[in-house]
Amino acid sequence: MWHSWAGSEDLYMRRPEKIEIVEELRKVFKDSGSVILIDFKNIDVPDITELRRKIRESESDYRVVKNTLALRAAEGTSIEEIKQYFEGPTAVAYSGENIVGLAKLLRDFIKEHSGMSFKVGVLDGQVVSDEQVLSLADLPPREELLSKLLFLMNAPLTQLALALKSPLQKLAYLLKQLEENKSQA
């Protein structure tokens, strides 16, 4: 007897490989908290292969997913807030540590491939628009931001040390002058 899978989503989801994909994606959505959705059309396989290689090198990941599976995986996660964007060809890019680096990499790739664009993102559980993802890509690298922060935190302490040192220097100079005056007298 022939069974139609159309209209029978529960039977469709019982296939072990589909269930495994949903569970993997759910883990990514819960653990990562930062995800970028990408729309893609008319991209060659060699270009996508190159993009995947670059993304792996940046210690991030990229997956093309069936929207129905992604929607199942998004249930109960912060990604559920962007479920309306899982339409048409959708790729999911995510990074646990360096979402800014991933956004830069994707922005540069998208500039060279007109068939791709940002749809939306989720950054630490907050929904960000495609324009905000582009702004994120314009941020300096994490290391540079941390060094600037350290400089800014250190500056008041340096100024305090100089301010405290200045009167002591003046006092030492004054005492030296007094000593020279006594020795001359």
Give residue 33's pLDDT. 67
Give residue 14's pLDDT. 64
- pLDDT tens track for 32-63: 768 999 998 888 888 889 999 999 888 888 88
As a whole number of angstroms, the distance between CA 136 and CA 138 comes to 5
Contact 50, 108 (CB under 8 A): no
As a whole number of angstroms, the distance between CA 93 and CA 91 comes to 7
What is the widest separation between alpha-carbon atoms in the chain? Answer: 122
Give residue 140's pLDDT. 78
Give residue 109's pLDDT. 92
- pLDDT tens track for 66-120: 899 999 988 888 888 888 999 988 899 988 777 888 899 999 999 988 888 999 9
Give residue 106's pLDDT. 92
Count the Cβ atoms, other than its own, within 10 Å of residue 67: 14
pTM exceeding the 0.85 threshold for the entire prediction? no
How high does pLDDT run on average in the chain?
81
163 Cα distance to chain centroid: 41
Which of 3.30.70.1730, 3.40.50.10880, 3.10.150.10, 3.40.50.300 is the CATH number of 9-139?
3.30.70.1730
Give residue 108's pLDDT. 92
| 1 half-sphere exposure, CB direction, 13 A CA radius | 1
pLDDT over threshold 60, residue 11 = no
**Which carries the bigger pLDDT value, residue 12 or residue 76?**
76
In the three-class reduction of DSSP (H, G, I as helix; E, B as strand; rest coil), residue 87 is classed as coil
Give residue 3's pLDDT. 36
Give residue 36's pLDDT. 92
pLDDT over threshold 60, residue 4 = no
As a whole number of angstroms, the distance between CA 96 and CA 183 comes to 71
- pLDDT tens track for 135-184: 888 887 777 778 878 887 877 777 767 666 777 677 777 778 888 888 88
